[in-house]
Amino acid sequence: MMGRIKITAVATIGKVSVMECQRYDEKGNALDYKFVDVHALKEAGVIKRADSYKKAENFLNTPEGIKFYQEAHHMKIF
């Protein structure tokens, strides 16, 4: 059984947009989080707009999306 990735927030600072993605195990316990670059999701053809978080979340919960999440660079926004 596999866990789930949920998008908990979307933020834009200047020209940088990120999605805060939380990864949970199958029991619902939080494992980790990443700020994923929205531009990377756009380049991968997953979304066209920064507010397409539901579409991005659906993608991140596929085998291809889980791999994308694991390889994604954790953006530092502070």
Domain locations in the chain as residue ranges: 4-71
pLDDT digit string (tens) for 48-73? 998 899 999 999 999 999 999 999 98
DSSP annotation string for 29-75: -EEEEEEEEHHHHHHTTS-SSTT-HHHHHHHHTSHHHHHHHHHS---
The predicted structure's pLDDT at residue 28? 93
Check residues 77 and 29 and name the one with the higher pLDDT: 29
- Residue % of the chain over a pLDDT of 70: 96
- What pTM value is reported for the model? 0.88
Q: Model confidence at 39, in pLDDT bands (50, 70, 90)? A: very high
